[in-house]
Every structure is written in C-alpha cells, then in structure tokens.
Structure 1
Amino acid sequence: MTVAGNQADFVVVGAGIIGVACALQLARQGRHVVVIDQQDPGMGASYGNAGHLATEQVFPIADLSILKRLPAMLMDPMGPLRVDWKYLPRALPWFIRLLLNLRPTHYLRTVAGLRALNEASLGAWQRLLQAIERPDLLREDGSLLVFERADSRQAIDALQQRMKQQGVPVDAWSGDAIRTVAPQLSDAIQGGLFFPGTGHFIDPYQVVGALVAAAKASGVQFLKRQVLDGRVEARGVELITDQGPFAARRLLIACGAHSAKLTTALTGKKVPLDTERGYHLMLPHEHGRLPFAVTSLERKFIMTPMTQGLRLAGTVEFAGLDCPPNMARAWQLHRLSQGLFRQDLNAADATAWMGFRPSLPDSLPIIDRVVEGKVLLAFGHQHLGLTQAAITAELIAQLASVESVPSGLPALGAYRLGRF
C-alpha cells in the first residue's frame, strides 16, 4: 500500500536509530506512521557507531584546551580530533559558538542537559528492548577508561571527582584489578575508571533491525526516497521527494546531520548543525579479548566487543558532509591499539567505515515541537545518538500527545529549537 494525501498521521524523515525508535513509539500510540529515508534503515551513523551506552558522558564534546590543540588539529591528518584546513572557513563560526558555550553559565546548562538525558537513557532502553522482546541486544556490564602513563593519574583522579560531583557512578580500579577481568590487556596499563551504570550493544545495526521489525509489525511503513524540500500547509506538512510529493498531518525531522536544510524550510530557523565525522575499524577475528567496552585515555579511542568481532572507534574529524572519507583514519585505530594488549590485535579481513554524527555547538540535541505542533524535531545528538535514542523516542511520543512533559522525564527547555 502506498500512503498518499493526508492518510499518514506522522511522517518521520530519517531511518536511523532515533527516527526508527520514534516511529515505533508513535505507532504504539495508535498513529499511522511512515518513515522516509534515501537509505535503507540503519545505514547511516547508526550502522557504525561504537555501540557504547555512554551514560557517563555528561560533559561537552570539547573544553577550552581546544584552542591549544587547534594547530595540531589542522596539521595532523591522523590526530584524534582533526579539522580539515579547507573546511575551516565554514567550520569557524560553529567553533566560535562552541567556545562561547564553554562560558560558565552555558557550560553548566549543557552538563545539566546531558546529565538529564543520560540518567534516563538506560531505563528507557530497558523499557524499549523489553517491549520488543529483545533485551539480549544490550549488555549492562559497565565500561572502563584506562590509562598507561604515570603522569595521567592526576587527570584520572580529577575526572573521577568531576563524575562524582555529577552523580555518575564511578569506581577507581588498579592495573591488577583491570587485568583480573580483562587478562589480555597489557601490563603497561596502570589503572582506570570503571563505570557500572553503562553497557554496550552487541550489534548496533541489529538493534535498528529489531526496531524496524517491531515498527512494521505495528503498522509503520518504510519508504526509500530522497527528501528535497518541504512546506507547512493548513492541513499539515508536504514533502517534496525525488518520487513526487508526500503529505502528512505532522512530521518529525530525525535525519541526523542532514536535518538542517529541512528544518529551515519548515520552521524558518537556521540551526548551527555540523557533523563529527566518525570512523571505525571492525576486526572480525577478534572475539573474547574484552568483556566490555574499554577506552584509552591517552590514545583517545574505544574498543567494543560485538557479535561480529571487536570494533575500534572514536576518532573525530570536521570536514563537512561532502568531503570523501579518509579511511586511513580508520586504519590508524589499529595502530593506536598496539601496546594495549599482551598480543597485538588481528586486523586480517578488517573493514573500515565512516559516518556523520550530527553536532550542535552546545553539545545538546534539539528535541522540540514547533509550528503549531505540525513539526517535531529530534536531531543533533552528536556521538550520543545511540545512548539517547530510546529516551528521545519517549519524549517525542509525549510531545506528540501533550504540550507539557510529565514528571519523571527530563524537562525540555534545554533542547528547544528556540535557543538558537
């Protein structure tokens, strides 16, 4: 069946983890929902993320030290945080806004906003996965941040104190304690921080697939089309696609790093959305090396065990949506892993990937209802899209039903479109 006219209650633009989770929640309210994306579900950033349920990450994506690191960011193509010098003129206004958001009042607002979402994220994922009878997709086994250099201990201690001040569960582990649970890690690791309130997904793409199956069973229709433009009309919203117009009573924009143009077309508001280009390297012959996700403080990347092997991820690049991927950055992750294990990781048959993480300069997403309730927004979750997808879906479902958010869910003031 092809939906036409105003038969659809909601059209969701974006078939990533957030769009699909939202579509499922809206359908469970009895709404007729259609999801539109130019790719198959889950083939964008949701396919290649680190798989880490990062509830401990309550601080912004950068701090003032970014000013000292800017020359290296421009000159080192393999650095953990890179800015393509050709893209710098376009990125500079975004970075200026990022720095302005590091002022004390704005910084505290960001931390409070991230903390509110992250504290609610695990419970929301538990509810969602239980509802689709797939709790096995999430391992609630914690995660570990390790350090190797003696001079890193001060930074680790300071981070632990900051985490405790924000109510993030965290325990200090010695190097011996780490090797007790992860015996293949190197003797060079001196210690680390264990975060018991986190976990990891055994396969992020499989998570999307399970949600898609549940959504289809609830009547959600998925269409593969490219959205070119849109406009708000008296009876709802009309999209212009490469296969003709498509109308619905209401619309949700959840297409990640590609959300800015459509948001401007429908709301008249220009949002400062950029993209953190993230890379991963999947090692299919690595099973059993790690019991849970492990991040290196000095090397600045994460390793997550999955059903397909071990995924190395975490590098960030600012080069826009159009620049071709530099897959050498993905392979650099294997070189970064050397020395972290007693025996180096096997990179045979490894596959490299790059995707776009949607980032706003205050490190918070936009979750809102605008244009007389005809347009809902759920994008800009930076590298926390997987973590915050389930709670975002619950919030969108509430926004679709009522004007205010009931107690027990984060207040939405920090995530409003109007803050820009």
Structure 2
Amino acid sequence: MSDPDIVVVGAGIIGVACALQLARQGRHVVVVDQQEPGMGASYGNAGHLATEQVFPIADVSILKRLPGMLLDPMGPLRLDWKYLPRALPWFARLLLNLRPARYQRTVAGIRALNEGSLGAWQRLLTSIGRAHLLREDGSLLVYERADSRDALRALQQRMQAQQVPVTFWTADAIRQAAPQLSEHIQGGLFFPGTGHFLDPFQVVCELVDAAKASGVQFLKRQVLDGRLDQHGVSLTTAQGPLSARQVLIACGAHSARLTAALTGKKVPLDTERGYHLMLPHEPHRLPFAVTSLERKFIMTPMTDGLRLAGTVEFAGLDRPANMQRAWQLHRLSKGLFHDDLSAEGATPWMGFRPSLPDSLPVIDRVCDGKVLLAFGHQHLGLTQAAVTAEMIGELASKGQTPLFTPYRLDRF
C-alpha cells in the first residue's frame, strides 16, 4: 500500500464522517482503529440529535452534588471515589471554566456547532441516500412534580435567550402526542429543532460503505505512538509502521496520548462513561425522544427497540463497567408509562464519551498542517459529527490557521 495523504485515527462516527468528507475532496484516506468501525461510543449513544443542549455538562451546583456523586453508586452523576485523585485536576479546571466569561464562551461555542448540526446531517445523509435514518420530529423534556415547574420554566427562558426553539406543552398536549405516557406527567418542553436516529450504529455502517466507495481504506490496527518527520507523520502500530502526509486524531476518549506525542500538548481529556439499556420489545412506545427532568435520563425509539440512556460516571478508561447503572435505567422508567416497560431480552452497554473541562471539542489544524484534531465532543459527538466533518474538510483544504477559535488546541 502506498502512503496515504491522510490517516484518520479513530473509526467512530466523527472519524468516519471526516474520512468520507476528506475522500470526497480527493484525498487518499486510510482509517485505523483497534476495533471495527462504530464499535466504541458511537455504537451505544442515545441516538438523540441534541441541538437543544447548548449548556456545559456541569454548572456551579456540582459543588453541592459532589458528596452525592461519591456516595451514590446509582446516581445520575457519579464519581468513583477510587478515581477521585486523578479526577480532581480535571474538576478543578471545570470549575474555573464556570466563571462568567468562560461559561458564556462555552455556551457560544456549543451553540454554534449545534446550530449547524441538523443541516450538516441532512446534507450528509442525503448525499449517501440514507436521509430516512434521521427522524426530524423533535424531542420532549417532561416533568412530574409540581415543584419542578419553576425550574422548567427557568430553563425555557435560558434556552430562548440562546435562540433555541422551544415550546411549553401542557399535560393534555403531551398525552395527545404520546398517549402511553403516565398521567403523572404534568407538562414539558418540546424542542422542534431536534430529532433522533433510528439506529446510530447503522448510520456509522452506511457512512463506512460510502467511504469505501470513495476509496477510503479501513485497517484494524492499534496505534501505539507517533512522530512528525520531514515528510509528514509516522505512526507506530501493533502491526507495523504507517506513514502519511497528515494525520487526523479522532479517537474520542483515547485521543490524549497520541495528541501529546505528536504536538507536545497535554490535553486535559477525561471520559464521561455513559450507559444504555436496550429494550427490544418496546419499539413503539414513544413517537420521539423523551427525557425526564427529575429522573435525568432519556428514552429514544429506534428500529430495534426503545433505548434508555443517560447518567454520567467518572471512573476513567480502565475500570470495568458497572452494568447495574444500565439496569438502573429500567427502574427509573417505572411510573413514566401507564404500563411498565418490558425488560425481557434487554441488553446493557457502557461507552466512553470524551470530555474536556470546558465542554468544547478540539477541532483544529496544528504542526504546520501535519496534524488535524477532532475529539472531545462529550455527549454531543453524534449531534456534532457531520458539522465537524465539514469543518475538518475546510481546515484540510484551505491550508491556513483555523478561524474556529473556541475549538483550538492552544486554548489549553
């Protein structure tokens, strides 16, 4: 195999979307990953096109919640106490980014990506003849307790201030749209500018097929190290060396080590470990994705069932999954429907969502253009994948310092 123009390290939704974009620009592209395409976080995400989620993953209330995060193994936001020493520097940086100026910069950065996400996905899926995989039918955030109404209305005002399309729905409106939901639900916020994917893994597979048809090669290899040279980039893999003029690092939560090796920059990348429980006998319970304000999880209808997803666990990349957190999602669903959801044949899953303390991704071109970067999208990787691919295509083709200031590597 001749040396490619660019090696994409990472075969998740972002890496694959970027590879297709680059190949369509005439590049000889090779994608490398130690797993089959789409088998990391892209396999088990919530499937929600979350354009409404323009705020960071945490706010100042995280200080009050820290004891509960450490003590409640089933809580919606969990910090493994054994991981605490390694997590403290990351959390310290997170708190610094909650200062007003930085917080507003983060919101502006997330909002800018999200505002372009739906259109980018429409263009991408239409270009491969798979527009039907995205349902653009909105999503709903519901509340059950009367004392939650003020918090919901306050959230509505905050989102309206960020130009997020949102409408308050009464309990009657919710029952008309989703009649199987419980009468305990008192109202909610409907987000018309969102949607959901019928099968996130199939989306990756369809993009892989399109990429292969455009000449992209996929190699199952583990990248161990890398260095820059006069010709470009040399990667060390478990199966031997691999060289190219450029490299794109898009391997999610595993991106920090290779970024440091190639750029000398230590990126404060951690992982939100996310869980889901797939219920194969419940594909028709909901017409669109529904999130519970109080219970803090989301339910997304898909071709193969209803996916319950959510919760955040900070425990690093090495500790084994606590699948009780996945099964907890079924317990959380009790009372949200007239009849409880069936867990027969349910399958649990855990994946690593790459998170930086300012909740913004790195989308950049560094080292004289030899290194491109696209990682750190936290729980918005699926949402922002298509627009990120367009941005990477622009960075690769223009050959100049990027204008995407909020997402640059040198902010760290």
TM-score > 0.5 by shorter chain: yes
Structure 1 partner of 2:331: 335
Is 2:259 aligned against 1:263? Answer: yes
Corresponding pairs, count: 412
Where does the alignment leave 5 or more consecutive residues of structure 2 unmatched?
Answer: none
- The percent identity for this pair of structures is 80
TM-score (norm 1): 0.97
Query: Conserved in 2, the CA contact under 8 Å of 1:174 and 1:191?
Result: yes
Query: Conserved in 2, the CA contact under 8 Å of 1:395 and 1:405?
Result: no
The match for 2:315 among 313, 319, 341 is 319
The match for 2:30 among 25, 34, 37 is 34
Structure 2 partner of 1:414: 406
Q: Distance in 2 between matches of 1:393 and 1:260?
A: 20
The Cα shift of 1:216 comes to: 0.2
Q: Secondary structure at the match of 1:90?
A: helix
Q: Distance in 1 between matches of 2:44 and 2:231?
A: 38
The Cα shift of 1:153 comes to: 0.3
Query: Conserved in 2, the CA contact under 8 Å of 1:398 and 1:405?
Result: no
Structure 2 partner of 1:177: 173
The Cα shift of 1:323 comes to: 0.2
The Cα shift of 1:405 comes to: 8.8
The Cα shift of 1:228 comes to: 0.3
The Cα shift of 1:403 comes to: 4.0
Residues 69-120 of structure 1: CA deviation (Å, up to 9, x unaligned) = 0000000000000000000000000001001000000000000000000000
Structure 1 partner of 2:88: 92
The match for 1:370 among 366, 373, 377 is 366
The match for 2:127 among 125, 131, 139 is 131
For residues 267-416 of structure 1, the aligned pairs below 5 Å read: 267-403=263-399, 411-416=403-408
Q: Distance in 1 between matches of 2:203 and 2:87?
A: 33
For residues 213-228 of structure 1, the aligned pairs below 5 Å read: 213-228=209-224
Structure 1 partner of 2:147: 151
Where does the alignment leave 5 or more consecutive residues of structure 1 unmatched?
Answer: none
Counterpart of 2:406, as a letter, is: A
The match for 1:60 among 40, 56, 60 is 56
Residues 358-409 of structure 1: CA deviation (Å, up to 9, x unaligned) = 0000000000000000000000000000000000000000000114599xxx
Residues 160-192 of structure 1: CA deviation (Å, up to 9, x unaligned) = 000000000000000110010100000000000
TM-score (norm 2): 0.99
Query: Conserved in 2, the CA contact under 8 Å of 1:23 and 1:220?
Result: yes
Counterpart of 1:276, as a letter, is: E
Q: Distance in 2 between matches of 1:240 and 1:288?
A: 47
Q: Distance in 2 between matches of 1:343 and 1:186?
A: 8
Is 2:76 aligned against 1:80? Answer: yes
The Cα shift of 1:315 comes to: 1.0
Counterpart of 2:13, as a letter, is: I
State the superposition RMSD in angstroms. 0.9
Q: Distance in 2 between matches of 1:172 and 1:403?
A: 46
Q: Distance in 1 between matches of 2:24 and 2:334?
A: 47
Query: Conserved in 2, the CA contact under 8 Å of 1:53 and 1:386?
Result: yes
The Cα shift of 1:287 comes to: 1.9
The Cα shift of 1:288 comes to: 1.0
Q: Distance in 2 between matches of 1:309 and 1:147?
A: 24
Query: Conserved in 1, the CA contact under 8 Å of 2:196 and 2:300?
Result: yes
